[in-house]
Each structure stands twice: as structure tokens, then as C-alpha cells.
Amino acid sequence: MSSATKKTVFVLNGPNLNLLGTREPAVYGAQTLGDVEKLCTQACERHGLALRFHQSNHEGALVDWIHEAGRLHAAGELAGVVLNAGAYTHTSIALHDAIKGTGITLIELHISNVHARESYRHHSYMAAAAKAVMCGFGVLGYGLAIDGLAQMLAQPAG
Ligand code: DQA
């Protein structure tokens, strides 16, 4: 399949995820963000999807990428978005509004099981705007989320 006809998956990572590999390895594991990108590339290749992979420590950059995904969605060229918003998950009405405002299919993802951690990580502003929420699979969750988006594309009513 040529890249022109492939639908695109955006994988967006928020603050501090650039530190993966050295950041609290007991919580987030030893794999780096580069390793996560490779895993996402492989998952997209399995499903004939194109990948856009980004990380930023800045909320507005994440909003801008969601808007860009929204433009692809409107053109029928988006498979969906996997968002690990990091700590913005628990604070950002702006990201919630961006997801709602674009109508994209978005999977909220966390490497750790946020519900087994501090209570301030239990609330998510993303969840009410997300199609699905997953946490606790470690970095494997990224590949699983892409598999899920691909299955939803194949069986839209499922
Ligand atoms: C995280 C969980 C968040 O609570 C935290 O602020 C992160 C990472 C995760 O992937 O487990 O930065 O989203």
C-alpha cells in the first residue's frame, strides 16, 4: 500500500516522556522513547498504517498536533490518535477541548497503572473525550493501542 493511501496513526507523548529509560525505571521501565517509537513503527507496519510520532513538554504543541490529526480525520485519512498526555492528563481542559473539538478517535494511554498510584493520578480530563482508556501494560500498551485502532477500523461497529 502506498503511503498516499495509508491512514495515519498519531502517537503523542506529553511532558517528561522524553526521559523514558532513566525516569523512575521501577514505574516506567527501562525502554526509551526511541524504543517506543520503534515498537509503534512495527505495529503500524503490521496493519498498513502510517505513523506520526511526537513528544513535547508543552501543552500547546500537543493541542496543535491534535488539531492536525483533526484535519486528517475530516479528510478521512486518520486511523486515530494514541495520547499519553503524561501529567497533563490530570490537569488539561485544553487537551480535553481539543479532542472534543476535532471529533478524532483517541485512545488515552498510560504506561503505569495510574489507578494503583497517588490519588491525584486517578482523575483524567482525557477520559471523557476518549474512545478508550488503557493503562498498566508498560510500553507494550502502545502497540496494543495501535492494534486496537486497526481493529476498530476493520470493524467500525465493534
Ligand atoms: C503517565 C502517568 C501520569 O500520571 C504521569 O504524570 C506521567 C506518565 C504514564 O504513562 O503512566 O507522566 O501518563
User: Residue 40: inside a domain, yes or no?
Assistant: no
pLDDT at 4: 59
Which residues have a catalytic role annotated? 28, 110
User: Residue 132: inside a domain, yes or no?
Assistant: yes
Ligand 1 pocket by Cβ (under 6 Å): 16, 84, 86-87, 89, 110-112, 114, 121
**Distance between alpha carbon 67 and the CA centroid of its chain, in Å?**
14
108 has which bridge partners? 83, 133
User: Residue 73: inside a domain, yes or no?
Assistant: yes
What is the grid cell recorded at 2? 502506498
- The CATH code of the domain that includes 54 is 3.40.50.9100
Query: Which structural domain, as residue segments, surrounds residue 115?
Result: 9-34+46-154
**Count of CA atoms in the C-beta half-sphere (13 A) of 158:** 9
pLDDT band of 1, cuts 50, 70, 90: very low
User: Residue 103: inside a domain, yes or no?
Assistant: yes
What is the grid cell recorded at 35? 524504543
90 C-alpha to ligand 1 centroid (Å):
9
Greatest Cα-to-Cα distance within the chain, rounded to the nearest angstrom: 46
User: Residue 3: inside a domain, yes or no?
Assistant: no
Per residue in 125-149, pLDDT (tens digit) is 999 999 999 999 999 999 999 999 9
80 C-alpha to ligand 1 centroid (Å):
20
CB proximity list for 145: less than 8 A, separation 6 or greater: 82, 107, 109, 132, 134
Domain count, the chain: 1
User: Residue 41: inside a domain, yes or no?
Assistant: no
Mean pLDDT of the residues in the chain: 96
Say if CB 82 and CB 149 are below 8 A apart.
yes
Torsion region of 24: left, alpha or beta (phi above 0 gives left; psi -120 to 50 gives alpha): left
152 C-alpha to ligand 1 centroid (Å):
25
- Which atom of ligand 1 is found nearest the CA of 117? 4
Length of the chain: 158
Radius of gyration of the chain from its Cα atoms, rounded to whole angstroms: 15
